[in-house]
Amino acid sequence: MVCDMDKQTLDSLARFCAAQRYAFDIRVWLSQRVFDTKVLAVAAKFLSMTSWYGHEEELTQICERLHAGVVTREWFDQEADAIGFDMGNFSATTRYRFAKISADSEKL
């Protein structure tokens, strides 16, 4: 394993992805400079494979542009392992974050 994704990085990534679910903009994904492109490509690929996030085609495009090629499940598994991407924790944290965004916007 090249590196382990720490809790702070995972939480920041989940916040970014949750915010993008409600205001999705492929340009924001491609131009952001907070996350390593490999981390963002893995997150995009993961979210494109879920039933709850949406934006599947756009996320696949993002992943392929960040990775510069066709992305297979094997690529995803290998890269997720290499960066220490905890799918279960990322999924739960992202869903929590967008539920919080939704609840906060309803209060307004």
44-97 residue pLDDT tens: 999 999 999 999 999 999 999 998 877 888 999 999 999 999 999 999 999 999
Count: domains in the chain = 1
Does a structural domain hold residue 61? Answer: yes
- Is 2 domain-assigned? no
* C-alpha–C-alpha distance, residues 84 and 107, integer Å: 36
Q: What is the pLDDT of residue 108?
A: 59
pTM for this one? Answer: 0.89
Task: Let me know if residue 1 belongs to a domain.
Answer: no
Does residue 1 have a pLDDT over 70? no
| Residue 18, burial from CB neighbour count under 10 angstroms (0-12, 13-18, 19+) | buried
Residue 25 lies in a domain: yes
Q: Which domain holds residue 58?
A: 7-107
> Is 77 contained in some domain?
yes
**Would you say residue 27 lies in a domain?**
yes
pLDDT tens digit sequence for 5-38: 889 999 999 999 999 998 999 999 999 999 999 9
Q: Which amino acid is at 87?
A: M
